[in-house]
C-alpha cells in the first residue's frame, strides 16, 4: 500500500485512511481521509486503495511550468483530487467532487458563480508567486 501524500491544505503528513463507523457495503471497507493536523475530512471512498489513489493523484511536479488552468472536463475526471482554486477574491486548495469543498464552492455563487474560466480558475499545482 502506497503511503498517503501530505495534506494539501496544511502540508501535514499526519493523514490517515479512517474506516467509516457504519459500514453499509459488503466485501469492502469504506472510509475517508482524515488530516489530524487541520481536521480536514474527505468524502467517503469505496475502499482504502481507491481513497489512496485519488488522494495521491496530483500532477507531476516536473509539469509545473506547464501549470495551466484545468478545463471543466478535466475537473470532472478529477473526482477526489486536490486542486488549487483562484477566483480573484481568494485562493485555496479544494477537493474536486467533495460536497464541502470544490463542487459546493464551485456551484455556489459566493465562490465561482458560473464564472469558471473567466475569473475563477482551478490548477493542479499552486501557481508560482501566489499565496
Ligand atoms: Zn491538513
Give per-residue pLDDT as tens, 104-126. Answer: 444 443 345 566 777 778 888 88
d(CA 45, CA 50): 7
- Point out the residues of the chain with pLDDT beneath 50: 1, 99-111, 130-131
| pTM exceeds cut of 0.85 | no
- Residue 112 pLDDT: 56
The rounded Å distance from CA 90 to ligand 1 centre is 18
The rounded Å distance from CA 9 to ligand 1 centre is 5
The rounded Å distance from CA 39 to ligand 1 centre is 6
Pairing status of strand 91-95 against strand 121-123: unpaired
The rounded Å distance from CA 18 to ligand 1 centre is 14
Of 72, 74, 79, 68, nearest to 123 by C-alpha is 68
The rounded Å distance from CA 72 to ligand 1 centre is 26
Q: 113: left (phi > 0), else alpha (psi -120 to 50), else beta? A: left
The DSSP string of the chain is -PPPPPPTTT--S-EEEEE-SS--STTS--EEEEETTT--B---BSSHHHHHHHHH----GGGGGG--PPPHHHHHT-TT-EEEEE-SS-EEEEETT-TTTHHHHHHSTTTTTT-BTTTBEEESSPPTT--
The rounded Å distance from CA 24 to ligand 1 centre is 27
Amino acid at each position: 500500500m502506497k503511503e498517503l501524500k501530505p495534506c494539501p491544505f496544511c502540508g501535514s503528513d499526519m493523514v490517515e485512511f479512517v474506516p467509516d463507523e457504519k459500514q453499509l457495503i459488503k466485501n469492502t471497507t469504506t472510509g475517508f481521509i482524515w488530516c489530524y493536523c487541520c481536521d480536514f475530512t474527505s468524502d467517503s471512498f469505496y475502499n482504502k486503495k481507491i481513497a489512496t489513489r485519488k488522494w495521491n493523484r496530483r500532477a507531476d511536479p516536473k509539469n509545473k511550468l506547464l501549470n495551466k488552468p484545468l478545463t471543466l472536463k478535466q475537473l470532472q475526471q478529477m473526482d477526489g483530487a486536490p486542486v488549487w482554486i483562484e477566483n480573484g477574491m481568494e485562493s485555496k486548495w479544494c477537493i474536486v467532487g467533495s460536497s464541502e469543498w470544490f463542487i459546493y464552492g464551485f456551484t455556489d455563487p459566493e465562490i465561482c458563480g458560473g464564472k469558471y474560466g473567466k475569473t475563477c480558475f482551478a490548477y493542479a499545482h499552486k501557481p508560482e508567486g501566489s499565496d
